[in-house]
Amino acid sequence: MESHALAAGYSTTGWVVGFTIGGVIVLVVVVLVVSILLLARSIGNEALKINDALTEAVHNTAPLGALRTTIEHATIIIAGLQRGRARLGG
């Protein structure tokens, strides 16, 4: 009978240890998942700020597309000025 009580004691102790270890593992997993979710949220917030800045940069640099036309016109004007100078003997 006494060996039965000892076996039951070990069994209960085993369950307690098992539940304790399981609880610690679950707690660690929850902490890791929460940390990952907070980091993902932070990254998402930064991504929105980056996207807004890039959209603003696209808007601010759109006029540079007309720069080629400006250069072509300036080249034509410079060529005209050089011809005029040459005709004037300069």
DSSP H helical segments within the chain, as ranges? 2-61, 67-87
The sign of the torsion formed by the CA atoms of 70, 75, 78, 84 equals negative
CA-to-CA distance for 18 and 51, rounded, in angstroms? 49
Which pTM does this prediction carry?
A: 0.52
- Enumerate the domain spans of the chain: 2-87
CA-to-CA distance for 38 and 43, rounded, in angstroms? 9
CA-to-CA distance for 29 and 33, rounded, in angstroms? 6
**pLDDT digit of tens for each residue in the chain (90 aa)?**
455 555 555 568 888 999 999 999 999 999 999 999 999 999 999 999 999 999 999 999 988 888 999 999 999 999 999 998 999 886
